[in-house]
Structure formats: C-alpha cells, structure tokens
Amino acid sequence: MRSNLCFLALCGASLIGARSAAASPDDALPTVPRAPPADPVPQSPERVSIDEATPYAPGEAPPPLRTRTYGEWAAPTARAERPGRYSYAWNDPTLQSGIGLGVAAGGGVLGFTDRTMRDTMTNNVTGIWGVRATIGSQVPLGLDIDYLGSAGHINTITGAPNGTLVGTTVEVALRYNILPHNLFTPYVFAGMGWQRYSVWNVQFAQSDTGLRSHDDVAEFPTGVGITMHDPSGAMADIRGTFRTTTGSDLLADPATGTFASLYSWEATGSLGYEF
C-alpha cells in the first residue's frame, strides 16, 4: 500500500513539472491595461437631432427639451427672396398669401356710347364708385370681383328734369398681369356680370318719354389697367373699361321706336391693400 501511494505522488509531481515547463514565457510578463474605447464619431448635422440647452435660474426645473428639425440644420440662415422684376413665377414667398390678395375701393366717371342715352343724360358723364377684391394680383393670372354703382341726372327729350338714373353692377373678370412681380404691373382683363338700371324720382310717364322705370341686362367688361405695388402692402390702381350689354329696353327713341344701347365706357382709380 505504501509503495502505491509513493508511486502516485511521483506521477503527480512529474505532471506539474511538465506543465510548468510548457508554459509560454510571455505569461510571466505584467498585464498592460487597455485604453477605454473612444467616443463614437458624431453623425452629420443633417441626420442627428440634438436638444437645445436653455439657461434657467438655479433651483428651477429645466424647461422641456426641444428637438431641432431637419430644416433648422439644413438652412439656419435662409431668407425668402422676391422673384425678379421680369419673372413670371406663380408664387412670391415674401407675400403672406404667396399670390397677392387685395381689396381696393375708388371711383371715377362713366359715359354711354349711344347718342340717345347721352342726350337723355343731363351731363355727358356720370359718377361711378366701386369696391374690388383681387385674387392673384402678383402672379401671371388673377381674378377680379367687382361691385359698382353709378348715378346721374336725366332729362326728357325737351330738356325737362326727369329724375336720377341709378346703376348697379356685379361682375367677375379674369386678368392677365404683365410683369406681375414688378413695382408697376400693367394688366388686361375680360369678364361678365349683371347690371341693373333704375330711374328714381321719375317725373313723366313712359308714354311721354319712352323711359321705363328699370332694366336688367347681362354685361361684358374688357379693359386695361396698371397697379402699383408698395412693399408695405399698399396698392394703387387705375383702369379703363369698355362694357357691352345684351339687348336693353330701358329707353326707346320716340322718333324711331328703337331701344337705346347701354354700352358704356369708364375711367376709374382706386386705393387698397394686398398681402
């Protein structure tokens, strides 16, 4: 038994010695600590969102963090620029509406082209006033919506006072703006609408004058104008208009029995605001 134990002890000592001899010399070298990993390289500003730090007083809770958007990274100093004066762009980023929305009010004079109507009026021209809303005053194509009123004294064929001729017009016109982004914008327009003429305070019967109390007609305005655009939003406009109408039976010529035409011309000016 003792001899067996001695044999096992010798075998174990031999195995330990052999393992120590087979070990690498490098295992005896001291271990050098490795450097901590470097911080990751940040991505480009276009693809990373950061939180803006906002200073706050000591003791107060910090304000909620806000994430910066892509647009703030991409163009932090970008400013809207007005299209060139000869541009026909369909949008102006310097305008609140982008296209030019305006309202204007003004007045002027109106005259009839038919000789019978001119002879019936006390004066060759009558006063006219109106309000206009414009959609697209600073893009190539726009739309005008107008309300117009007019009034003028009328006489009988013999020259006796015979009341007041009052006109009311509502119309819509398409306008083409020439140089829409220029300080001065010429334009042409054409449209259609409804017109009513009424005689107030008539003094003589229709059988004596050939004049009815009222008449309703369709009318078709065409004309030219020019608008001045101020950077503040103020605008000024002058225009000339020629109106044709459908057949009228407001006034009959006593000599021939034919009805006078209500074709007319007008010259107006207005002031307003656009945005």
Nearest-angstrom CA–CA distance, 248 and 250: 6
Residue of 213, 223, 249 whose CA lies nearest to 146: 223
Region 231-259: what's the mean pLDDT?
Answer: 91
What element of type H or E holds 118?
Answer: helix 115-120
Percentage of residues of the chain with pLDDT beyond 70? 68
* pLDDT at position 155: 84
Q: For the chain, give the mean pLDDT.
A: 81
Residue of 167, 162, 156, 258 whose CA lies nearest to 209: 156
Region 192-200: what's the mean pLDDT?
Answer: 95
Nearest-angstrom CA–CA distance, 165 and 203: 12
- Residue 183: phi and psi, rounded to 5, are -60, -40
Of 19-23, 114-118, 170-174, least confident by mean pLDDT is 19-23
pTM, 2 dp: 0.68
* pLDDT at position 175: 98
Region 191-205: what's the mean pLDDT?
Answer: 89
Region 227-246: what's the mean pLDDT?
Answer: 96
Q: How confident is the model at residue 269 (pLDDT cuts 50, 70, 90)?
A: very high
* pLDDT at position 34: 61
Count of residues making up the chain: 275
Region 240-265: what's the mean pLDDT?
Answer: 90
* pLDDT at position 135: 97
